[in-house]
């Protein structure tokens, strides 16, 4: 009778976990070689057979069965749905996000799979476990990996050292290693030296190259620079056999680097908390979501799998979070981004979808070229010139799609269905200038403005902090009409929309807040659109990531500072800052008041021909 490897592993597991390797080895030998079966007398002989069985399971990608052989169910079980979903994704994908609730086995299941994958080919497999601190790694996933290694029923190769399990701890291409990248430190480049290389002998299934795996522990706390390194790492590997990266996290902030990568292909509105447990993201990642409400322990009302979420555990999570549908409940109980957290960002996702923010205006007259230079001389920030055109438009042309290959055209109309003219801003370019001397930046900016026809009165310049020098020199070169914008000054007394009941100075703390909310309102009423030449990345991410708060006892809202924004793992929002500055410059220089009605605060409709002239007579009128 022919037995499958799965059947053999099932029969061998019990005596092996009863610490009887000789009996386990004999059972394996009898089932795999029923004729002329030799007798196994010593543990050494038994482990030769058991290692061969383990190798067969791993090489046939039967990792769940291999785990059953190595560990007791109390140590690890691959039976929970959440574990099986993670294993399936790790086999088939190269980029995986595991977004989950508390006590759903996110990191542990990933660690088990990666350990088994390393055991399959320890001389040519490199597993990097990236975490925010050595203490975090030691107390969490890496300690679990060491425990799994030390307590394997079939002893594994190599010996654990400090944040390392390897045959040779000095071999940079093989082993399981912890990599500490603290949040807030310069971290880009920490992983760039890690690559795959040709094997000494090609593997019949795994190919000619070594393999690289990266685990991002607590991915929402990983520095943004690591995500840049991953782009370079993935470019060095041809397929998912050679390279895999998996990020585990509790979802807290949709605007974080991992939150941005988690957005579904069709946007957040395309997924639902009750029915969506896996999706492909806009950036090509495979996302696996682990919902605490779907734990078998919760569904059955009893503890079936030790360590996984239970009904009592969910009740405790809900209590600690302050109740159901709170931010903590969404994150820790459901593995879902807090639905109310989206209200804390200045510009909501709905305004940043292509159908909302993209398009080209149909001009009624030649628009005025305009620009804003965001100097951003601090740290690693870049100087950005945001270029646009401002003027009267009577319609909008959408970007081409399948239904409208030439782009759908719509026309502005008032309630009487008469053509309406609106003051609109078309954003055409975001030009980046290299950091350097003030005079070089001014020369580059002036040259660009001259070539684009941007006059001094429609040029704004960031004069916050170090930007004052650039502003002053540019003003001396182009004229006193250049508009200086200092975001740290008080907000203005000029309403943004005709419908506003408060002046900006009564509603917003400092000009920086007014700039961001003016941008939101212009996008909302449809008088600012992004042209086809402006890439979505990183502009959309920057626009959607800025938060605001309502300080206690203060009636005015406040946008978080750039330092606070960057402390959450973001890069400096140079592109978004340049756009907000451009809208402010146009507002101030044109003195325009926008409106949801489309009338810009006054009636501005299609001109009509004169119908009264000198030939008209009044003699016959009584």
Distances (CA, A) of 30 to 15, 375, 404: 14, 76, 69
Class of CATH domain 75-334:
alpha beta
The domain ranges of the chain are 1-60, 75-334, 349-590
Pairwise pLDDT comparison (170 vs 26), residue with the higher score: 26
CA end-to-end span of the chain:
117
Domain 349-590 has CATH 3.90.1150.10: no
Cis peptide before 538 (omega within 30 of 0): yes
- 600 pLDDT exceeds 70? no
Q: What is the mean pLDDT of residues 125-132?
A: 91
497-541 pLDDT, tens digit per residue, is 999 999 999 999 999 999 999 999 999 999 999 999 999 999 999
Q: What is the mean pLDDT of residues 296-304?
A: 94
Q: What is the mean pLDDT of residues 59-71?
A: 98
Pairwise pLDDT comparison (539 vs 182), residue with the higher score: 539
453-481 pLDDT, tens digit per residue, is 999 999 999 998 778 899 999 999 999 99
Q: How confident is the model at residue 183 (pLDDT cuts 50, 70, 90)?
A: low
Q: How confident is the model at residue 340 (pLDDT cuts 50, 70, 90)?
A: low
Q: How confident is the model at residue 184 (pLDDT cuts 50, 70, 90)?
A: low
**Residue 345 DSSP label:** B
Alpha-carbon span 89 to 84, nearest angstrom: 9
- The pLDDT, as a whole number, for residue 385 is 97
603-622 pLDDT, tens digit per residue, is 444 444 444 444 444 454 44
Q: What is the mean pLDDT of residues 62-91?
A: 97
Distances (CA, A) of 368 to 5, 363, 531: 74, 11, 16
Pairwise pLDDT comparison (341 vs 218), residue with the higher score: 218
- The pLDDT, as a whole number, for residue 615 is 45
Distances (CA, A) of 427 to 361, 386, 528, 582: 10, 7, 7, 9
Alpha-carbon span 315 to 132, nearest angstrom: 29
- The pLDDT, as a whole number, for residue 173 is 81
Average pLDDT, the chain: 89
Pick from 6-15, 80-89, 596-605: least confident: 596-605
- The pLDDT, as a whole number, for residue 496 is 96
Alpha-carbon span 227 to 137, nearest angstrom: 19
Q: What is the mean pLDDT of residues 14-35?
A: 93
Q: Which runs of consecutive H residues, i.e. helices, occur in 121-158? A: 134-139, 141-150
The pLDDT > 70 percentage for the chain reads: 91
Contacts of residue 174, defined as CB under 8 A and 6 or more positions apart, other chains included, come to: 122, 123, 124, 125, 126, 166, 167, 168, 210
- 86 pLDDT exceeds 60? yes
- Contact assessment for residue 577 and residue 462, using Cβ atoms and an 8 Å cutoff: yes
- 71 pLDDT exceeds 50? yes
Q: 3-class DSSP state for residue 125?
A: strand
Alpha-carbon span 300 to 227, nearest angstrom: 39
Pick from 106-110, 167-171, 378-382: least confident: 378-382
> Do 75-334 and 349-590 show the same overall fold?
no
Pick from 36-45, 47-56, 398-407, 419-428: least confident: 398-407
Contacts of residue 601, defined as CB under 8 A and 6 or more positions apart, other chains included, come to: 498, 593, 594, 595
- Contact assessment for residue 154 and residue 105, using Cβ atoms and an 8 Å cutoff: no
- 319 pLDDT exceeds 60? yes
- Contact assessment for residue 125 and residue 205, using Cβ atoms and an 8 Å cutoff: no
Contacts of residue 579, defined as CB under 8 A and 6 or more positions apart, other chains included, come to: 372, 386, 427, 430, 519, 539, 543
- Contact assessment for residue 572 and residue 376, using Cβ atoms and an 8 Å cutoff: yes
Length of the chain: 622
Pairing of strands 409-411, 383-397: antiparallel
Q: What is the mean pLDDT of residues 376-396?
A: 85
Q: How confident is the model at residue 420 (pLDDT cuts 50, 70, 90)?
A: very high
Strand blocks (E) in 8-124: 95-100
Distances (CA, A) of 124 to 3, 111, 210, 409, 606: 31, 18, 5, 58, 73
Alpha-carbon span 288 to 106, nearest angstrom: 10
Q: What is the mean pLDDT of residues 566-582?
A: 89
- The pLDDT, as a whole number, for residue 608 is 44
Alpha-carbon span 483 to 458, nearest angstrom: 8
Which among 233, 235, 225 has a CA at the least distance from the CA of 189?
A: 225
Q: How confident is the model at residue 325 (pLDDT cuts 50, 70, 90)?
A: confident
Q: What is the mean pLDDT of residues 548-577?
A: 82
């Amino acid at each position: 009778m022919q037995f499958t490897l799965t059947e053999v592993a099932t029969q061998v597991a019990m005596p092996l976990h009863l610490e009887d390797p000789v009996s386990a080895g004999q059972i394996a030998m009898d089932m795999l070689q029923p004729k002329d079966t030799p007798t196994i007398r010593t543990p050494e002989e038994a482990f030769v057979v058991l290692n061969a069985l383990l190798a067969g399971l791993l090489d046939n990608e039967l990792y769940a069965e291999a785990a059953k052989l190595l560990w007791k169910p109390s140590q690890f079980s691959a039976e929970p749905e959440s574990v099986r979903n993670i294993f399936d994704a790790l086999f088939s994908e190269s980029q995986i996000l595991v977004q989950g609730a508390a006590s759903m086995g996110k990191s542990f299941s990933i660690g088990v799979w990666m350990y088994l994958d390393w055991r399959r080919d320890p001389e040519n497999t490199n597993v990097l476990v990236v975490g925010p601190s050595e203490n975090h790694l030691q107390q969490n996933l890496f300690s679990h990996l060491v425990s799994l290694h030390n307590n394997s029923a079939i002893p594994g190769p190599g010996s654990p050292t400090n944040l390392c399990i390897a045959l040779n701890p000095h071999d940079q291409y093989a082993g399981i290693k912890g990599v500490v990248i603290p949040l807030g430190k310069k971290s880009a480049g920490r992983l760039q030296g890690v690559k795959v290389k040709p094997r000494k002998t090609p593997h019949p299934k795994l190919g000619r190259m070594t393999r690289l795996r990266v685990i991002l522990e607590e991915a929402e706390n990983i520095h943004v620079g690591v995500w840049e390194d991953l782009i370079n790492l993935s470019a060095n590997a041809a397929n998912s056999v050679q390279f895999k990266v998996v990020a585990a996290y509790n979802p807290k902030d949709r605007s974080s680097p991992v939150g941005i990568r988690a957005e579904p292909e069709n946007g957040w509105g395309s997924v639902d908390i009750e029915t969506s447990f896996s999706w492909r993201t806009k950036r090509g990642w495979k996302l696996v979501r682990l919902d605490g409400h779907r734990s078998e322990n919760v569904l059955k009302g009893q503890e079936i799998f030790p360590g996984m979420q239970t009904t009592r555990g969910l009740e405790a999570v809900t209590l600690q979070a302050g109740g159901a549908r709170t931010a903590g409940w969404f994150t820790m109980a459901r593995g879902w981004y807090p639905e109310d957290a989206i209200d804390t960002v200045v510009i909501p996702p709905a305004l940043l979808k292509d159908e909302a923010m993209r398009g080209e205006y149909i001009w009624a007259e030649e628009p005025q070229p305009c620009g804003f230079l965001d100097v951003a001389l601090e740290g690693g920030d870049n100087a950005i010139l945001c270029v646009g055109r401002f003027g009267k438009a009577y319609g909008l042309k959408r970007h081409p799609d399948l239904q409208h290959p030439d782009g759908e055209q719509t026309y502005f109309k008032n309630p009487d269905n008469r053509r309406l003219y609106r003051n609109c801003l078309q954003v055409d370019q975001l030009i980046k200038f290299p950091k350097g001397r003030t005079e070089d930046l001014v020369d580059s900016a002036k040259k660009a403005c001259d070539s684009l026809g941007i006059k001094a009165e429609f040029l704004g310049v960031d004069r916050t902090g170090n930007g004052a020098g650039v502003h002053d020199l540019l003003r001396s070169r182009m004229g006193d009409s250049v508009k200086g914008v200092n975001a740290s000054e008080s907000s203005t007394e000029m309403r943004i929309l005709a419908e506003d009941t408060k002046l900006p100075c009564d509603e917003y703390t400092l000009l920086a807040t007014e700039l961001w909310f003016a941008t939101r309102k212009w996008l909302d009423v449809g008088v600012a659109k992004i042209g086809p030449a402006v890439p979505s990345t990183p502009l959309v991410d920057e626009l959607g990531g800025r938060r605001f708060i309502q300080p206690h006892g203060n009636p005015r809202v406040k946008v978080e500072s750039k330092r606070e924004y960057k402390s959450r793992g973001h890069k400096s929002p140079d592109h978004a800052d340049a756009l907000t500055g451009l809208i402010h410059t146009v507002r101030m220089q044109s003195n325009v008041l926008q409106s949801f009605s489309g009338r810009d605060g006054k009636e501005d409709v299609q001109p009509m021909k004169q119908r009264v002239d000198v030939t008209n007579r009044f003699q016959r009128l009584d």
